[in-house]
Structure 1
């Protein structure tokens, strides 16, 4: 199969509907896009095979689940060659929900979700700052997420 697959308007319409509601049945997508259910299924299978679609996720309100602290962590590395080792160790910490390799001051930027500031402190001092290769960290606590939206494909 061609690995340089280009999305057409139908693919973008299908993806935009799923971006808004990943639970939407293919039959409903087909109705809205005005194609057959089989077409939606075949196109989704192709996009999954090519790695364009990597599964679906469930968006949770962590605050309502008792995880009221959303923090961003700028991580200074001792040297860039330790990046993959640091990332693997960060990945093992359940409170770390995303990791980014960045340009600028930080070598790595991570997002953590914790129950409270005490929990955050325990994760930082008891796990993150013990990782070999991390020089130091800067923590920014989010006071409130104003909005979080998916990208609309054009």
Structure 2
């Protein structure tokens, strides 16, 4: 087996799927922006359960204006690549688990419908599938079936 590949691979984007801060303070987000700005590719962030939605939006506004696409959540769509990118905010403030409420599910379904069949990469902090976890609440994503429902093509 060769010791190296005959070509060099460069990532075209970086996805940071939450827990960017410990307590969700603006100073923490300033540090994160400083660190992520050193990457040579576009960065796409989505909040996790340790993040504070409004502080994250305010702290990242200049560096990541896509976070202002949705009013109530930090959802967004990026159309700049051959594959569409959808960041889906699953955070419930002050809770470990996330949620896909009716408003989020409707937003997600509408964005998928706008894609005209283009391949789409969806990323979020909380997993859309059930998994085993040792801590209470970390697997709790009520109404996760709404994600699957939105992903089904109409017959």
Kindly indicate which of the two structures has a greater share of residues assigned to strand.
1
Kindly indicate which of the two structures has a greater share of residues assigned to helix.
1
Q: TM-score, normalised by structure 2?
A: 0.25
Q: TM-score, normalised by structure 1?
A: 0.25
Q: Find the structure with the greater CA-based Rg.
A: 1
Higher RCO (CA < 8 A, seq sep 6+): 1
